[in-house]
Structure 1
Amino acid sequence: MNEAVFSQIAMLVLLTGLIVWMGIIVWDLAKKSKAGKFGTLALFIVLGAGVVGFLVKTVMVEIMNL
């Protein structure tokens, strides 16, 4: 396994872990602030928009490089 393959696999695994960890943090934030169903949904939509934007950007870059 060369360095490029290792970097790609590590990036995928660690980035997935980071996204999951951020979801756990948002869930804990909603629970501690007693946000309710609507507040929890709003937190996940607003704070998750950054993750969605990153994923969309990544897909668009890959499509443009084809």
Structure 2
Amino acid sequence: MIFGLSVAEFEDLSLKFLLSGLIAYMFFIIWNVARVSRAGRYGTIWLFLVMGLGMFGFMAKELIIKLLGL
């Protein structure tokens, strides 16, 4: 038991929180790339759209799993 949680519960919580932090950091990196490269408004939108789709796909997969009850 870690902090009153089973190992599986601790791993599940850690994955969700740390992965959320990683996704937030990746959004910061995309914003920084857009700023440094002077991408402009439309370039920034495209950067977030294209580079953010992979992260959105991962989050959508988790949501679909929850909705289907698997």
Name the TM-score, length of structure 1 as normaliser.
Answer: 0.90
The structural deviation recorded for 1:63 is 2.4
Q: Which has the higher helix share?
A: 1
The 2-side partners of 1:58 and 1:9 are apart by 14
RMSD of Structure 2 on Structure 1 (CA): 1.1
Output the TM-score relative to the length of structure 2. Answer: 0.86
The percentage of counterpart residues that share the same residue type is 38
Number of residues of Structure 1 aligned to a counterpart in Structure 2:
66
Counterpart position of 1:55 = 59
Residues 6-56 of structure 1: CA deviation (Å, up to 9, x unaligned): 011101110100000100100110011100011001100111111111111
Q: Which runs of 5+ in 2 are unaligned?
A: none
Q: Which position in structure 1 is the counterpart of 2:33? A: 29
Q: Which runs of 5+ in 1 are unaligned?
A: none
Provide runs of 4+ in structure 1 moved above 4 Å.
none
Q: Tell me which structure has the larger Cα radius of gyration.
A: 2
